[in-house]
């Protein structure tokens, strides 16, 4: 009868609150801690938090039959079943004391996803004041892996403000470090979460332009994202002076011919000057504001024909044999 009465002790007013704040749980390091600061050890928790004897409930002195009742009792007092943000941050700090090897980069990527899950499940976005210390630690610490031009940067870890979000990285990744973690398809990282960490989404327009010039100079097929971003920047008149640099270099990539062309040789209509002038490929029409700004015309004008004649002269010189199709172009021009 006495045991049955003891069942209701926790329901007495204030009892749970008192017990929650007492260091009444024995841990495997020989110490004691509050129920809300420890866990029943599992392989998953040990992988995430490292082997932390100060975090594991010591059940060595209890019969196996009492483990589950103890777990249920401590759960009412706040026993953790998933990693706390504080303990994840402690684990991150311990990892980034060493250089970013492949293994450490992978572990940090996993921990970043756990942080993201905690932010969403506990609605940290709406409770930023309650998590102010943890958010600040995440923002200022150098703890993230990065890549540049598709290659891991193994020199150091990066703070969120030092890298760029990966979602549109194909438009600038040759110029700036990009957050480099494996995405989890079931719960991918979100822009809102990375924004909260103050990780920039995209670099300045000048960087986007330099990326495209790099692709042109190194004959690298650019991702369409670069044209999409530049079209958006033209639309909002963002650093047009920098974008104008592209009018002086071959910046239009032809997937059919696998090479770059200058905007003065690309036209919206089909020009009757094969080998020297080309009709804009279909994908260019999606970024018409950009290419109109750079000088793509409807059809060739006298200045274009003069340039073609100069090209023919340079290519063949005096006395060299000129094919019949080139002679036709010469006469047409």
Task: Break the chain down into helix, strand, coil percent, rounded to 5.
Answer: 50, 10, 40
Distance (Å, whole) CA 228 – CA 48: 39
* H-assigned helices in the chain: 2-6, 15-20, 43-49, 67-76, 85-95, 102-121, 132-140, 191-196, 205-217, 224-235, 240-243, 288-294, 302-316, 324-332
Of the pLDDT bands very low, low, confident and very high (cuts 50, 70, 90), residue 136 is: very high
Nearest alpha-carbon partner for 280 in 265, 294, 302: 265
Domain spans of the chain, in order of start: 2-76, 85-196, 205-300
Distance (Å, whole) CA 163 – CA 169: 11
What is the value of pTM for the model shown?
0.82
pLDDT single digits (tens) 8-61: 555 656 777 888 888 989 999 999 999 999 999 999 999 999 989 999 999 998
Strands 144-148 and 178-179: antiparallel
Give the pLDDT confidence score for residue 225 in this predicted structure: 97
Distance (Å, whole) CA 194 – CA 136: 13
Tell whether the model's pLDDT for residue 291 goes beyond 50.
Answer: yes
Distance (Å, whole) CA 245 – CA 248: 6
- The helix/strand/coil state of 3 is helix
Range 142-146 average pLDDT? 98
- For every residue of 141-172, which 3-state class applies, written as one string? CCCEEEEECCEEEEEEEECHHHCECCCCHHHC
Range 120-135 average pLDDT? 91
Contact, 179 vs 165, CB < 8 A?
A: yes
Distance (Å, whole) CA 319 – CA 251: 33
Distance (Å, whole) CA 295 – CA 258: 22
Q: How far apart are the first and last CA of the chain?
A: 109
Cα distances from 279 to residues 11, 111, 210, 266, 318, in angstroms, run 80, 50, 25, 6, 30
Contact, 292 vs 262, CB < 8 A?
A: no
Distance (Å, whole) CA 28 – CA 38: 10
pLDDT single digits (tens) 196-228: 999 999 999 999 999 999 999 999 999 999 999
Q: At what angle do helices 205-217 and 224-235 cross, to 10 degrees?
A: 140
User: What percentage of the chain reaches a pLDDT higher than 90?
Assistant: 63
pLDDT single digits (tens) 151-177: 999 999 999 999 999 999 999 999 999
Contact, 25 vs 38, CB < 8 A?
A: yes
Size of the chain in residues: 333
Hey, which residues does 253 pair with through a beta bridge?
Answer: 260
């Amino acid at each position: 009868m006495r045991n049955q009465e003891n069942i209701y002790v926790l329901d007495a007013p204030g009892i749970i609150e008192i017990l929650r704040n007492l260091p009444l749980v024995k841990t495997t390091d020989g110490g004691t801690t509050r129920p809300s600061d420890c866990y029943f050890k599992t392989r998953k928790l040990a992988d995430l938090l490292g082997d932390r004897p100060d975090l594991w409930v010591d059940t060595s002195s209890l019969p196996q039959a009492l483990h589950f009742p103890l777990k249920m009792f401590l759960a009412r007092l706040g026993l953790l079943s998933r990693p706390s943000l504080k303990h994840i941050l402690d684990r991150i700090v311990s990892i980034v004391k060493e250089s970013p090897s492949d293994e450490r980069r992978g572990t940090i990527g996993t921990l970043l996803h756990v942080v993201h899950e905690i932010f969403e499940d506990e609605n940290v976005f709406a409770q930023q004041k309650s998590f102010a210390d943890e958010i600040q630690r995440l923002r200022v610490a150098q703890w993230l892996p990065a890549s540049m031009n598709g290659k891991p940067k193994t020199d150091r870890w990066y703070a969120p403000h030092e890298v760029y979000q990966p979602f549109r990285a194909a438009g600038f990744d040759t110029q700036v470090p990009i957050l480099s973690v494996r995405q989890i398809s079931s719960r991918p990282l979100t822009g809102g979460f990375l924004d909260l960490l103050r990780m920039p989404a995209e670099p300045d327009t000048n960087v986007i332009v330099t990326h495209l010039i790099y692709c042109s100079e190194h004959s690298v097929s650019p991702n369409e994202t670069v044209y999409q971003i530049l079209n958006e920047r033209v639309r909002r008149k963002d650093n047009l002076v920098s974008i104008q640099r592209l009018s002086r270099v071959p910046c239009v990539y032809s997937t059919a011919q696998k090479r770059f062309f200058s905007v003065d040789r690309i036209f919206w209509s089909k020009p009757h000057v094969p080998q020297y002038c080309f009709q804009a490929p279909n994908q260019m029409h999606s970024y018409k504001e950009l290419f109109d700004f750079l000088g793509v015309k409807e059809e060739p004008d006298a200045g274009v024909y003069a340039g073609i004649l100069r090209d023919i002269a340079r290519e063949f010189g005096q006395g060299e044999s000129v094919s019949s199709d080139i002679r036709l172009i010469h006469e047409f021009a």
